[in-house]
Amino acid sequence: MWIDRIVEIVPRQRLVSVKHITLSEEHTHEHFAATESRPSIAVMPACLIVEGVAQSGGILIGHASGFREKLVLAKITRVDLECEATPGDTLRYTITVEQIGSQGASTKGLVERVEAWSGKVETIGHVDLMFSNLDQNMAGLEFPEGNFVFGDAFRTLLKNSGVEIPPA
């Protein structure tokens, strides 16, 4: 999981989630290895920031159908990340629905960094995504009955964030 908590959800419109970056996360250790001229630098890799936005968007879109659909990330249409996030920072992802339908959806994501030492909030990027409903794929492929996309980890995150799963 690349998000820690959902702090707001407006069904079919908007979701806000947060990710607290800590040194206890192995991926931050020496992300940029030390050289002769500088020490190692611990950062949250940009690909994991994009994944946090994708998980947030997937939850927002999945919530609209009561998590019955098997949604997958289909396309990254935009990624602009202007600076790194480091241990001690909190990332805030604000996801809004651009379009939603039976075959999938598109979202716009705003990435903000909340600095631990100052509380300063700054926009550090935008990530726009498209999701596809696997059961409505144009190739006619069939997938297992159970929803393998929204598993126990997602349900635990939803429960711990106070988000109810809509009735089927």
Which of 46, 103, 111, 110 is closest to 74 using CA atoms?
A: 103
Q: Is 126 a catalytic residue?
A: no
Catalytic residue, chosen from 20, 29, 31, 126, is 31
Question: Annotated active-site positions, please?
Answer: 31
